[in-house]
Every structure is written in structure tokens, then in C-alpha cells.
């Protein structure tokens, strides 16, 4: 019997949307020099999902709503610390310490209090092959929200990254774009956690932008390259994972890493 590759449209939709969202966000993260913060946000996404699972079991709060609200509240602590004069890298370190500690407490509580009702494994490794149509619609809503907060303002974000003082002297309220960027990252990381997984979100939010910046000679080219690298890496990883039976999120991460290593070879 000849080999036949079957792709469920739900898999393609959720992986494609996740790749598009991170393909837009990642170059902006690099331009805004937010790699440290973006790399730590998956920690808040996992913690938000765990807190939302607790809220679902205790008070019946809708998981999708609670997880996003928890994520926005957690990420706001970074902005609050920075506004109080704490250095961004120090504020991020404090945030990671808090998130990791609360994640351990929440995970232990869930495993002991709701051992049969709740599974957190999918939020750690991600599995787009298990998504339902309800998950697809939620992914569409999350992607639209994240892109609306970022895509129309790519020029402003890149200019702020290049020369923040000049932008502020020009009368632009950079703090507004800061808040929009952080909110977009928070919504994307927590909303796409089940699809991508906590582990590989670090790769998808960082590597497309880093790879594009190593190849591009302008901000516009970097944004376009980051988008194309993320989308092609996501769909290619999905195809390879279905053909080989390996974890889709892990294969996507390996493909994106391969793109980055290829860019290093090209640079040499």
C-alpha cells in the first residue's frame, strides 16, 4: 500500500495561525530588544493556564477568559516594576522567579486536588493534532487579537527600537506602544499555549526574528523574512511530524533551529 499523508484542516489552521502570529511578533521583539522578556513570557503563560485550571475547577470560570486575564495581570507586574524605576532586566528576573515559584505551587495543587479532572501535559509540550473545532475558533480569536495590537503599528515599533528618545521627542507616546506590545505577547503566549506548548513557545517567539535579523538589511525585509520563516517552519514541521509520528511542536522547533543554523553558515 503506498504511503498516504493525511492532514486534518484543523491542524493546518492552528499551526498556520500560530506561525503567522509569532512570525509577526518575533521580528518586532528583536527590533524592540525584548528578547529577554519574550523568552520569559511562556513562563507566565504556563502559570496563567494552571491558575485558570484551578479557577475552572473551583468556581467554574471559563478557561479561555481566565487564562488571558491571569496572563495580562502577571505581565503587568513587569510594567509596574519598570515604571517604579527597576531596570528591565532586573524586573524580568524578578518576574521569572515569581512565575517559576507559583507554577510549581499551582502544578502541585492541581495534581493533588484534581488528578483525574485535569491534564496539564498538553500545555507543556503542546499538540495541535488533538485540537477540536472549538480550539480552532479560539485560536482564530486569539490570533486576531494579537495581530490587531501589533501588525498595524510595525513601523512605530521598529522606530522605537531604533531610537526611542527621538520617537518620544517627536511627540509619540512610546509607553502606549510598550503596553500594546506586552499585551500582544501575553495574549499570544497564553492563547496559543495548548497548540504550541510551553517549551517550544520559547523557540517560536525568538528564532524567526533572530534569523531574519541576521539575513535582512532593513527593518521591512526583516519583518517579511521573519513572517516567511515562521510560517514555512510551522507548516514544514507539521508535515514532517505527521509523516514521522513525532511531536509536532518539537519538530517545528527543530526546523526553525535549522533555519537559524543555515543563516549562520550563510553569514560565514
For the chain, 268 residues long, give each residue's pLDDT as a single digit of tens: 444 567 788 888 999 999 999 999 998 888 888 777 777 778 788 888 888 888 888 888 888 788 888 888 887 777 677 667 677 677 778 888 888 898 889 888 888 887 655 556 667 777 787 788 888 898 899 899 889 988 888 888 888 877 777 777 777 777 788 778 888 888 888 888 877 777 778 888 888 988 888 888 877 888 899 899 999 999 998 899 888 888 888 888 899 999 988 888 875 5
User: Nearest Cα to 211, choosing from 264, 156, 173, 166?
Assistant: 264
Q: What is the CATH code of the structural domain delimited by 9-199?
A: 1.10.3470.10
Locate the domains of the chain by residue range.
9-199
pLDDT score for 231: 92
Contact criterion met (CB below 8 Å) for 183 and 75: yes
Amino acid at each position: 500500500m503506498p504511503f498516504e499523508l493525511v492532514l486534518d484542516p484543523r491542524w493546518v489552521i492552528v499551526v498556520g495561525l500560530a506561525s503567522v502570529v509569532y512570525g509577526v511578533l518575533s521580528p518586532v521583539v528583536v527590533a524592540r530588544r525584548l528578547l529577554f522578556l519574550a523568552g520569559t513570557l511562556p513562563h507566565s503563560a504556563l502559570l496563567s493556564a494552571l491558575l485558570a485550571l484551578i479557577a475552572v475547577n473551583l468556581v467554574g470560570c471559563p478557561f479561555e477568559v481566565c487564562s488571558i486575564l491571569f496572563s495580562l495581570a502577571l505581565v503587568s507586574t513587569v510594567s509596574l516594576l519598570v515604571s517604579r524605576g527597576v531596570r528591565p532586566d532586573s524586573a524580568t528576573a524578578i518576574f521569572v522567579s515569581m512565575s517559576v515559584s507559583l507554577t510549581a505551587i499551582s502544578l502541585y495543587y492541581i495534581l493533588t486536588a484534581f488528578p483525574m479532572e485535569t491534564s496539564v501535559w498538553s500545555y507543556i509540550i503542546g499538540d495541535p493534532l488533538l485540537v477540536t473545532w472549538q480550539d480552532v475558533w479560539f485560536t482564530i480569536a486569539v490570533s486576531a487579537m494579537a495581530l490587531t495590537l501589533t501588525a498595524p503599528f510595525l513601523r512605530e515599533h521598529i522606530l522605537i527600537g531604533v531610537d526611542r528618545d527621538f520617537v518620544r521627542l517627536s511627540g509619540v507616546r512610546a509607553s502606549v506602544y510598550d503596553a500594546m506590545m506586552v499585551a500582544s505577547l501575553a495574549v499570544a503566549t497564553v492563547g496559543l499555549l495548548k497548540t504550541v506548548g510551553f517549551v517550544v513557545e520559547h523557540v517560536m517567539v525568538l528564532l524567526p526574528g533572530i534569523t531574519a535579523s541576521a539575513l535582512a538589511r532593513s527593518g521591512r525585509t526583516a519583518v517579511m523574512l521573519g513572517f516567511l520563516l515562521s510560517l514555512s517552519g510551522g507548516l514544514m514541521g507539521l508535515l514532517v511530524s505527521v509523516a514521522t509520528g513525532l511531536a509536532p511542536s518539537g519538530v517545528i522547533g527543530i526546523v526553525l533551529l535549522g533555519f537559524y543554523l543555515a543563516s549562520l553558515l550563510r553569514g560565514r
